[in-house]
Amino acid sequence: MQKSPWWQHSVIYEIYPRSFQDSNGDGIGDLNGIVARLDYLVKLGVDAVWISPIYPSPMADFGYDVADYCGIDPIFGTMDDFKHLLAEVHSRGLRMILDFVPNHTSDYHPWFIESRSSRMNPKRDWYLWRDQPSNWLSNFGGSAWEFDETTRQYYLHSFLKQQPDLNWRNPDVKAAMFDALRFWLGLGVDGFRVDVMWLMIKDDQFRDNPPNPGYRLGQPSNNRLLPVYSSDRPEVHQLVAAMRAVVDEFPDRVLIGEIYLPVQQLMTYYGAGLKGANLPFNFQLLQCAWSAEAVAQVITGYEGALPIGAWPNWVLGNHDQPRMATRVGPSQARVAAMLLLTLPGTLTMYYGEELGMTNVPIAPEQVQDPAEKNEPGLGQGRDPERTPMPWDDSHCAGFTAASPWLPIGDDYASLNVEALEQNQDSILHLYRRLIGLRRSHPTLVKAKLDVVTADSGVLRFQRVGEEHFLVLLNMSHNPVQVEIGQGTILVCTYLDREAQQVKDSLHLRAAEGVVIQLDQSTEKLL
């Protein structure tokens, strides 16, 4: 039988490199810091790391403004440090996924410097220049067009004005960017997470976007329009397929797309004949209400919409979204862990989730994120979910010897890796247990997800393959009695019912989740 690709049974762990581990005492995490913590990741049980951008950058958007696609920013280390990290990752049987930022470069990228220098410059057409701006809005507030005095035209920037959008209709741009992919693939990188994949191509006529009838005052200003002509254009799929073909020139790699779209549109990014993104990120758990009904709907909707043969994936957190433990509270964060790790497909978690890390309040004078600086007070800032990883209770939580670039959560004396390690009931142990369970029971990765229901605040589903699992998640704050078949509890969110034999009916405590291995004799329930 053909072995399934590594990424299909992987738990991917996102590292925001500025905040993981500082090794050189500048208050900012770096590549050697990551090396120092790889054994922690091995022990946690994850399979792959995705590292947010580490390329040379003026850091206007903390690395999502790339000034050289084939280098390493000195803040993070050197190319030799990168090669060392990659070797250390691989020697532990882990994989490495890099961030690729194709929609825009930094305004300091030599391509843009040339492009803006004259209308006649050969790289002029590498970016999107117009005499007249359309009404398109930047995702970080204000117009998406910036007037440039030198050549008296406007250039497009879907994000900051320091992030000019590339013109992917230009074949030279394509060739140069694909060569950058080949550069990293040639070094042995295992795949890419592609930034804002659904924005890469814009309407060729730059037509105005229509107003959004759902816009309400107080929302971020870019909600005023529906991005009909500036996102998810039909031509994007050709481009994604071409990108995938480049990745497929190298065996055993993965292409993941960052795509925030409704589920039907999201599915189109698997591409015709599944030749698009291997995994269009599925962010629904980050966006839906936290109730058994809402999550049940999301799961059935997603499963039902998956094209035949497409591999599912689920994401629990990332560097742009409020942390789960803040959204749902500490006890439901454990339920969220169990939910994620019992769903089918490839799973992505965000550093610190395994500690139940929460958003850290950021005082106005501490704000770093341009999204907050541009439109203060609208809840756009992402600093709260990007704060340093707390490793121990020493000064600066073992993250740095200097002053950290963002504040460390003031609960770090008790919420840190070392402390949670010593507490056998901690969320860290729960994550390890669940990841371990998934590894030892492939049914949880690949088997059919069946009979999804929500009742009395309990989300319930089955995974039926070589083995038969029943997952019960009490997403309410009340205890509840549920009907079950007969089986054995493999893990519970309180970590205190392992190996318990259960039959007929089960009392679930508030915010309790259980994975039950059903006996062979138990017929399909419900």
Taking alpha carbons only, the member of 344, 293, 289, 284 closest to residue 317 is 284
**Own/partner long-range contacts of 74-79 (Cβ < 8 Å, ≥24 apart):** 75/18, 75/26, 75/28, 75/30, 76/17, 76/29, 76/30, 76/31, 77/30, 77/31, 77/32
Taking alpha carbons only, the member of 394, 365, 357, 368 closest to residue 28 is 368
- What is the nearest approach in angstroms of ligand NOJ to the Cβ of residue 440? 33
> Which listed residue (54, 72, 101, 246) binds ligand NOJ by CB under 6 A?
101
- Residue 138 vs 400, nearer CB to ligand NOJ: 138
What does each C-alpha distance from 485 to 168, 464, 479, 503 come to in angstroms? Answer: 56, 14, 19, 6
- What is the nearest approach in angstroms of ligand NOJ to the Cβ of residue 193? 9
Would you call 93 helix, strand, or coil by DSSP?
A: coil
- Residue 315 vs 434, nearer CB to ligand NOJ: 315
- Residue 282 vs 332, nearer CB to ligand NOJ: 282
Q: Count residues contacting ligand NOJ (CB under 6 A)?
A: 9
- What is the nearest approach in angstroms of ligand NOJ to the Cβ of residue 14? 10
Q: Cβ distance 512 to 482 under 8 Å?
A: no
Q: Tell whether residue 184 is a contact of ligand NOJ (CB under 6 A).
A: no
Taking alpha carbons only, the member of 42, 226, 260 closest to residue 135 is 226
DSSP 388: P
Query: One of 14, 65, 165, 195 is an active-site residue; which one?
Result: 195
- What is the nearest approach in angstroms of ligand NOJ to the Cβ of residue 368? 12
CA distance 459 to 340: 13
Q: Cβ distance 319 to 13 under 8 Å?
A: no
Residues 60-99 that bind ligand NOJ (CB under 6 A): 61, 64
The identity of residue 395, as a single letter, is H
Taking alpha carbons only, the member of 473, 468, 469, 470 closest to residue 454 is 473
- Residue 320 vs 392, nearer CB to ligand NOJ: 320
Q: Cβ distance 108 to 58 under 8 Å?
A: yes
CA triple 455-312-12, angle to 5 deg:
105
CA distance 180 to 256: 16
> Which listed residue (195, 232, 372, 385) binds ligand NOJ by CB under 6 A?
195
Residues 260-319 that bind ligand NOJ (CB under 6 A): 319
- What is the nearest approach in angstroms of ligand NOJ to the Cβ of residue 320? 5
- Residue 60 vs 464, nearer CB to ligand NOJ: 60
Residues 27-66 that bind ligand NOJ (CB under 6 A): 61, 64
> Which listed residue (159, 405, 461, 469) binds ligand NOJ by CB under 6 A?
159
Residues 447-486 that bind ligand NOJ (CB under 6 A): none
Residue 108 CA, distance from chain mean position: 26
* 195 tagged catalytic: yes
Q: Cβ distance 190 to 48 under 8 Å?
A: yes
- Residue 47 vs 195, nearer CB to ligand NOJ: 195
Question: Pairing relation of β-strands 346-350 and 11-15?
Answer: parallel
- What is the nearest approach in angstroms of ligand NOJ to the Cβ of residue 330? 26
- Residue 94 vs 101, nearer CB to ligand NOJ: 101
Q: Which residue is nearest to ligand NOJ (CB)?
A: 64
Q: Tell whether residue 192 is a contact of ligand NOJ (CB under 6 A).
A: no
- Residue 196 vs 357, nearer CB to ligand NOJ: 196
Q: Tell whether residue 196 is a contact of ligand NOJ (CB under 6 A).
A: yes
- What is the nearest approach in angstroms of ligand NOJ to the Cβ of residue 53? 8
CA distance 78 to 31: 9
Question: Residue 391 corresponds to which tokens in the numbers above?
Answer: 């490793």
Residue 399 CA, distance from chain mean position: 22
- What is the nearest approach in angstroms of ligand NOJ to the Cβ of residue 449? 28
Residues 241-260 that bind ligand NOJ (CB under 6 A): 258
What SS3 string covers 17-51?
Answer: HHHCCCCCCCCCCCHHHHHHCHHHHHHHCCCEEEE
Query: One of 165, 258, 369, 375 is an active-site residue; which one?
Result: 258
- What is the nearest approach in angstroms of ligand NOJ to the Cβ of residue 428? 26
CA distance 190 to 50: 10
The identity of residue 205, as a single letter, is Q
- Residue 100 vs 129, nearer CB to ligand NOJ: 100
> Which listed residue (208, 320, 450, 455) binds ligand NOJ by CB under 6 A?
320
Q: Which residues bind ligand NOJ (CB under 6 A)?
A: 61, 64, 101, 159, 195-196, 258, 319-320
Catalytic residue annotation: 195, 258
